[in-house]
C-alpha cells in the first residue's frame, strides 16, 4: 500500500538515494565551444520551428481528456503514434523506429454528473462543487445524506472515535501550506487526505468522505485525483470539493449549524483493459544498446483537457526527438521518447516498460521525465546526492543562459521511477511550480492555460540535457 502511494504521488516527494555507479565524467570544464554551439542550435530550432505547441493543441482539442481505459485514451494512442512518426520522419529510412507496447490498465468511469447539496440550520440548501475521486465507488441511487464533521489530521479520527464518526460524512479540510515555496511540497503536505482519507474514515464507520481540493487557488473548480482503498477497510464513496465549497462547509460547522450533505456519485470500476505505451527511438551510432529516455504520460483525468498534466510533457518529449534530428545530431546512444499510459491511477505503463526493459536486458543510462506542467523552465531535479548529481551540475554553465539554473536533488518522476532499480540515472524536468496546482486535475487544465514560449523553452532544455548526457555520460 505505502509503496503504491509513493509511486502515485511521487512528484511531491524526494528520493535522496544515489542511483547507479558514479560516472567517469568526460565533461570538459568549462564547456567546450562546440557544446555551446550545439545547445544554441537546439534552442534556435525549437524557438524558430517548434511543433510542440501545435501538437498540444491537437492533443487537447481533437483528442481531449484521456483517462486510462477510455475511448479518449485509445484515440490518444493513435495520435501519439502518428505524431511520433511525423516528428521522426526526417531521420530517414532506418533512422527511427516507432512502436506500441501493450499494457493492461484500470478502467474507471465517472458516470452521470455527481452532486452534493449542503443543508444547514437557518439557511437555504446550497449546491456544492464536487467531483468523484478516481477509483471511488458510487453512492446508492438516492445518495448518502448525513451530518458532516470536519477533520484536518488523521489523528483527529482517533480522538473522535467511532461514536462521533459512525453514520456521518467526514470532510477533510487540510489546506495547502502557503509558506512552502515549492507548490509540490505543499501538495505533499496534504495529498494523503485525498488518497487515503476514505479508508481512514471508514475504520470508524463513516458513510462517505469529502476532501478539500489540492490547490492553492480559492475558486469553484473541484480537483479530482486518485484515491486508494485499503484492503482492510470498508469501501465508501469519496469526492473532492472546491476550495470555495470547502469554505462554505467550514463556516457552517464553525457557526454550530451542524450541516448535512446529500452526496450522489454514479461512478463504476470495471476489469482492466488493454492499452499501450507509445515509443519512438533514434538508434545510437556507437552504443545502440544503451538508452536515454525522455517521457511524459499520455493519460489524463476525465476533466479538462489534460494540458499541463501531462500533455505538455508528452509533446515536449516528442519534440526532443524532432529537435535532435532537425539539428543534425547523430546520437551515440539510442534516444527514446516514451509516452506512458496510466500514470494517473496505477502507473501500469511505467511498470510494464521497466519490466520489458529488464526482460530484454536493455541498459538504460538515463531517463528524463516531464510531468510538472509546461511553465517557465527552472532546471532539473536529479534523483541522486552523489557523483552523478555533481556531474550534471557541471552542465549548468551551458544551460543557464536559457533559464536552466537549478540543478538540484529531487524526484525524477513516477513513470521513470521503476527504471531506477536497474541503475538508471533519473532526472525530472523542473519548471516553475507556482501555477501548476491552479489547473492540476481540474477542468481548467486546458490548452489555453499553456504558454507557447514557456513550453518550447522546456523542450529545448530537455533536448540539450539529452545531448549533454549522451556526449559525456559514463560508458
Share above pLDDT 70 across residues of the chain, in percent, rounded to a whole number: 93
- Mean pLDDT for the chain overall: 93
Strands 287-297 and 96-109 come out as unpaired
Q: 362: which residues sit within 8 A by CB, 6+ positions away? A: 289, 291
Asked if residue 10 has pLDDT above 50, the reply is no
DSSP tag of 49:
H
Residues 307 and 449: beta-carbon distance below 8 Å: yes
| DSSP code per residue over 316-385 | HHHHHHHHHHHTT---SEEEEEEEES-TTTT-HHHHHHHHHHHHTT-EEEEEEE--S-S--EEEEEES-S
CA dihedral 349, 52, 221, 206 (to 10 degrees): 10
- Comparing 93 with 36, the larger pLDDT belongs to 36
φ, ψ of residue 356 to 5 degrees: the values are -70, -35
Which member of 290, 305, 343, 454 is catalytic?
A: 343
Contact 221, 82 (CB under 8 A): no
Which contacts qualify for 95-99: CB closer than 8 Å, 24 or more apart?
95/282, 95/283, 95/325, 96/280, 96/281, 96/282, 96/283, 96/321, 96/325, 97/280, 97/281, 97/283, 98/278, 98/279, 98/280, 99/279, 99/280
| Confidence at residue 96, expressed as pLDDT on a 0 to 100 scale | 85
End-to-end CA distance of the chain: give it in Å, rounded.
37
Q: How far is CA 423 from the centre of its chain?
A: 22
Which pLDDT band, with edges at 50, 70 and 90, does 366 fall under? Answer: very high
Q: Kindly report, residue by residue over 405-416, the tens digit of the pLDDT.
A: 999 999 999 999
Average confidence (pLDDT) over 128-137: 98
pLDDT for residue 22 = 41
Mean pLDDT of 39-52: 98
Position 85 pLDDT exceeds 90: yes
Question: For residue 221, which phi and psi values (nearest 5 degrees)?
Answer: -100, 110
Q: Which residues are registered as beta bridge partners of 381? A: 408, 428
The mean pLDDT of 226-232, rounded to a whole number, is 96
Report the pLDDT averaged over residues 200-227: 98
pLDDT surpasses 90 at 92: no
Quick one: pLDDT band at residue 4, thresholds 50, 70, 90?
A: very low
Would the pLDDT of 24 be above 60?
no
Average pLDDT over residues 277-302: 97
- CA distances (Å), 352 to each of 28, 134, 158, 288, 438, in order? 37, 21, 39, 22, 31
Q: Is the pLDDT of residue 8 over 60?
A: no
Residue 20 in this model has a pLDDT that exceeds 70: no
Mean pLDDT along residues 16-37: 59
Residue 238's nearest CA partner among 272, 267, 270 is: 267
Split at pLDDT 50, 70, 90, the class of 474 is: confident
Averaged over 449-453, what is the pLDDT? 98
Q: Is 194 helix (H, G, I), strand (E, B) or coil?
A: helix
DSSP-assigned letters across all residues of 107-146 = EEE--SPPEEEEE-TTS--EE--EEEPBTPPPPPTT-EEE
Rounded to an integer, what distance in angstroms lies between the CA atom of residue 173 and that of residue 151? Answer: 6
Mean pLDDT of 336-351: 98
Active site residue 343: yes
Q: What angle do CA 305, 308, 312 make, to 5 degrees?
A: 105
Contact 331, 406 (CB under 8 A): no
Round the CA-based radius of gyration of the chain to a whole number and report it. Answer: 23
**Residue 3: pLDDT above 50?**
no
374 C-beta neighbours (distance < 10 Å), count:
32
Residues 150-198 have pLDDT tens digits of 999 999 999 999 999 999 999 999 999 999 999 999 999 999 999 999 9
Q: What is the pLDDT of residues 373-421, one digit of tens each?
A: 999 999 999 999 999 999 999 999 999 999 999 999 999 999 999 999 9
**What whole-number distance in Å separates Cα of residue 436 and Cα of residue 372?**
7
The band of 27, judged by pLDDT with boundaries at 50, 70 and 90, is: low
Q: Which residue has the higher pLDDT, 122 or 274?
A: 274
The model's pLDDT over 234-254, given as tens digits with 9 standing for 90+, comes to 999 999 999 999 999 999 999
Region 74-102 average pLDDT: 91
pLDDT for position 463: 98
Q: Which domains are seen in the chain, by residue range?
A: 2-107+271-472 (3.40.630.10), 111-266 (3.50.30.30)
Amino acid at each position: 500500500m505505502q509503496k503504491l502511494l509513493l509511486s502515485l504521488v511521487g512528484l511531491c516527494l524526494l528520493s535522496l538515494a544515489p542511483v547507479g555507479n558514479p560516472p567517469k565524467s568526460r565533461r570538459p570544464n568549462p564547456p567546450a565551444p562546440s557544446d555551446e554551439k550545439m545547445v544554441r542550435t537546439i534552442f534556435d530550432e525549437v524557438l524558430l520551428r517548434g511543433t510542440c505547441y501545435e501538437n498540444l493543441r491537437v492533443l487537447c482539442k481533437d483528442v481531449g481528456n484521456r483517462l486510462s481505459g477510455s475511448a479518449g485514451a485509445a484515440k490518444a494512442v493513435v495520435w501519439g503514434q502518428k505524431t511520433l512518426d511525423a516528428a521522426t520522419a526526417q531521420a530517414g529510412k532506418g533512422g527511427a523506429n516507432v512502436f506500441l507496447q501493450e499494457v493492461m490498465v484500470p478502467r474507471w468511469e465517472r458516470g452521470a454528473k455527481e452532486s452534493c447539496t449542503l443543508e444547514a440550520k437557518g439557511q437555504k440548501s446550497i449546491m456544492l462543487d464536487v467531483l468523484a475521486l478516481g477509483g471511488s465507488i458510487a453512492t446508492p441511487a438516492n445518495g448518502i445524506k448525513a451530518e458532516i464533521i470536519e477533520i484536518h489530521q488523521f489523528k483527529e479520527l482517533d480522538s473522535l472515535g467511532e461514536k462521533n464518526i459512525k453514520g456521518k460524512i467526514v470532510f477533510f479540510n487540510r489546506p495547502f501550506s502557503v509558506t512552502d515555496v515549492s507548490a509540490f511540497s505543499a501538495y505533499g503536505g496534504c495529498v494523503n487526505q485525498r488518497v487515503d482519507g476514505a479508508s481512514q474514515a471508514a475504520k470508524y464507520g463513516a458513510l462517505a468522505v469529502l476532501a478539500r481540493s489540492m490547490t492553492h487557488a480559492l475558486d469553484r473548480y473541484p480537483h479530482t485525483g486518485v484515491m486508494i482503498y485499503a484492503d482492510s477497510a470498508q469501501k465508501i464513496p469519496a469526492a473532492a470539493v472546491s476550495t470555495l465549497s470547502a469554505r462554505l462547509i467550514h463556516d457552517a460547522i464553525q457557526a454550530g449549524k451542524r450541516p448535512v450533505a446529500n452526496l450522489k456519485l454514479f461512478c463504476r470500476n470495471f476489469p482492466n483493459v488493454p492499452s499501450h505505451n507509445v515509443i519512438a527511438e533514434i538508434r545510437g551510432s556507437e552504443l545502440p544498446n544503451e538508452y536515454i529516455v525522455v517521457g511524459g504520460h499520455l493519460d489524463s483525468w476525465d476533466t479538462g483537457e489534460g494540458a499541463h498534466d501531462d500533455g505538455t510533457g508528452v509533446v515536449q518529449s516528442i519534440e526532443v526527438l524532432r529537435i535532435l534530428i532537425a539539428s543534425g545530431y547523430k546520437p551515440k546512444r539510442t534516444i527514446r521518447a516514451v509516452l506512458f499510459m496510466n500514470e494517473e491511477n496505477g502507473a501500469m505503463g511505467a511498470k510494464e516498460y521497466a519490466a520489458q526493459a529488464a526482460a530484454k536486458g536493455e541498459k538504460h543510462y538515463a531517463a528524463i521525465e516531464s510531468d510538472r506542467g509546461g511553465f517557465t523552465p527552472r532546471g532539473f531535479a536529479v534523483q541522486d546526492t552523489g557523483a552523478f548529481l555533481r556531474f550534471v551540475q557541471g552542465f549548468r554553465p551551458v544551460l543557464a543562459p536559457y533559464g536552466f539554473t537549478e540543478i538540484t536533488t529531487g524526484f525524477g518522476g513516477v513513470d521513470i521511477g521503476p527504471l531506477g532499480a536497474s541503475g538508471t540515472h533519473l532526472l525530472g524536468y523542473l519548471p516553475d511550480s507556482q501555477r501548476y496546482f491552479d489547473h492540476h486535475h481540474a477542468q481548467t487544465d486546458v490548452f489555453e492555460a499553456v504558454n507557447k514560449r514557456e513550453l518550447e523553452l522546456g523542450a529545448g532544455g530537455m533536448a540539450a540535457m539529452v545531448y549533454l548526457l549522451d556526449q559525456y555520460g559514463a560508458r
